[in-house]
Amino acid sequence: MADPTSPAATPIEAAAPARRSTGRGRARVFVLFRDAGTRMGAGILLVVTLAALLAPWVAPYDPTAQSIVESFHGPSAAHWFGTDEYGRDLFSRVIWGARPALIVGVLSVLVSMIVGVPLGMVAGLKGGCVDLAVSAVVDVMMSFPSLLLALMIVTLVGSGLHTLVIAIGIAHVPLFIRLARSSTMQLRELDYVAASRTFGGRDGWILGQHILPNIIGPLIVMATLGIAGAIRDEAALSFLGLGIQPPEPSWGNIIRDGVSAILAAPWMALISGFALALTVLAFNMIGDSVRDVLDPRDIAAASNERGERR
Amino acid sequence: MTAPSAPMLQVDDLKVHFRTRVARAPWKPVQVVRAVDGVSLMMQPGETLGLVGESGCGKSTVARAVIRLLQPTAGRILFNGRDITDLSQEALRPIRPKIQIVFQDPASSLSPRLTVDRIIAEPMRLAGWEKSRIRDRTGELLRFVGLDPQYAYRYPHEFSGGQRQRIAIARALALSPELVICDEPVSALDVSVQAQVINLFKDIQQQLGISYLFVAHDLGVVRQVSHRVAVMYLGKIVEEAPRAALYETPLHPYTQALLSAVLRPVPGAARNRIVLEGDMPTPIAPPSGCRFRMRCPLAAPVCAEAEPPLQEIAPGRRVACHFAPDATIARP
3 state SS of B241: strand
Question: If you write DSSP's letter for every residue of B9-61 in order, what string do you get?
Answer: EEEEEEEEEEEE--TT-TTSPPEEEEEEEEEEEEE-TT-EEEEE--TTSSHHH
Q: Do A199 and B175 touch (CB under 8 A)?
A: yes
Q: In chain B, positions 12-41, which contact chain A (CB-CB < 8 Å)? A: none
Q: Give the residue extent of every domain in chain A.
A: 24-62+72-304
Q: Report which listed range, A159-168, B149-158, B176-185, B263-272, is most confident.
A: B176-185
Mean pLDDT computed over B289-297: 89
State the smallest CA–CA distance between residue A37 and chain B in angstroms.
28
B87 touches B65 (CB < 8 A):
no
Q: What is the pLDDT of residue A85?
A: 86
CA–CA separation, A87 vs A268, rounded Å? 12
B287 touches B294 (CB < 8 A):
yes
State the smallest CA–CA distance between residue A119 and chain B in angstroms.
22
State the smallest CA–CA distance between residue A124 and chain B in angstroms.
17
Q: What is the pLDDT of residues B151-208, one digit of tens each?
A: 999 999 889 999 999 999 999 999 999 999 999 999 989 988 999 999 999 999 999 9
- Asked if the C-beta of A128 comes within 8 angstroms of chain B's C-beta atoms, the answer is no
Q: Do A194 and B110 touch (CB under 8 A)?
A: no
User: Is residue A242 over pLDDT 50?
Assistant: yes
Q: Which amino acid would we find at residue B252?
A: H
Backbone angles phi, psi at B228, to 5 degrees: -130, 155
Nearest CA in chain B to A17: B159
Backbone angles phi, psi at A265, to 5 degrees: -145, 70
Q: Do B126 and A205 touch (CB under 8 A)?
A: yes
Q: In chain A, positions 50-69, which contact chain B (CB-CB < 8 Å)? A: none
CA–CA separation, B186 vs B184, rounded Å? 6
Q: Which residues contact B290 (CB under 8 A, 6 or more apart)?
A: B296, B299, B303, B304, B306, B307, B308, B320, B321, B322
Q: In chain B, positions 159-178, which contact chain A (CB-CB < 8 Å)? A: 159-160, 162-163, 166, 168, 171, 173, 175-176, 178
3 state SS of B100: strand
The rounded mean pLDDT for chain B is 90
Who has greater pLDDT, B86 or A12?
B86
Who has greater pLDDT, B328 or A20?
B328
Mean pLDDT computed over B239-262: 90
Return the DSSP state at A209.
I
Q: Do A201 and B162 touch (CB under 8 A)?
A: no
Backbone angles phi, psi at B49, to 5 degrees: -105, 120
Architecture of the domain delimited by B9-233: 3-Layer(aba) Sandwich (3.40)
Q: What is the pLDDT of residue A71?
A: 85
Q: What is the pLDDT of residue B324?
A: 76
User: Is residue A308 over pLDDT 50?
Assistant: no
Q: Do A7 and B144 touch (CB under 8 A)?
A: yes
Best B144, B173, B199, B211 residue to mutate vs chain A (most A CBs within 10 Å): B144
* Structural class in CATH, domain A24-62+72-304: mainly alpha
- Asked if the C-beta of B136 comes within 8 angstroms of chain A's C-beta atoms, the answer is no
ipTM surpassing 0.90: no
* Helix residue ranges, H only, chain A: 24-33, 36-53, 55-58, 90-126, 128-142, 146-157, 161-188, 191-198, 203-206, 212-239, 251-260, 266-294, 296-304
State the smallest CA–CA distance between residue A287 and chain B in angstroms.
22
Give the pLDDT band of residue A67 (cuts 50, 70, 90): confident
- Asked if the C-beta of A1 comes within 8 angstroms of chain B's C-beta atoms, the answer is yes
Q: In chain A, positions 205-244, which contact chain B (CB-CB < 8 Å)? A: 205, 209-210, 213-214
Q: Are strands B74-79 and B9-20 parallel, antiparallel or unpaired?
A: antiparallel
Q: What is the pLDDT of residues B203-246, one digit of tens each?
A: 999 999 999 999 999 898 999 999 999 999 999 999 999 999 99
CA–CA separation, A151 vs A177, rounded Å? 21
Residues on chain B touching A192 (C-beta within 8 angstroms): 108-111
Which pTM value belongs to this model? Answer: 0.82
- Give strand pairing partners of A89: A83
Residues on chain A touching B200 (C-beta within 8 angstroms): 8, 10
Q: Do B151 and A18 touch (CB under 8 A)?
A: yes
User: Is residue A31 over pLDDT 80?
Assistant: no
Q: What is the pLDDT of residue A192?
A: 94
Q: Which residues contact A167 (CB under 8 A, 6 or more apart)?
A: A108, A149, A150, A151, A153, A154, A157, A237
Give the pLDDT band of residue B266 (cuts 50, 70, 90): low
Residue B162 is nearest to which of A13, A194, A198, comparing CB atoms? A13
The rounded mean pLDDT for chain A is 84
Q: Of B116, B104, B112, B107, which Cα lies nearest the Cα of B167?
A: B116
Q: What is the largest CA-CA distance in chain A?
A: 94
State the smallest CA–CA distance between residue B190 and chain A in angstroms.
14
B207 touches B128 (CB < 8 A):
no
Q: Do A7 and B109 touch (CB under 8 A)?
A: no
- Asked if the C-beta of A196 comes within 8 angstroms of chain B's C-beta atoms, the answer is yes
Mean pLDDT computed over B47-63: 93
Distance, CA of B15 to chain centre: 16
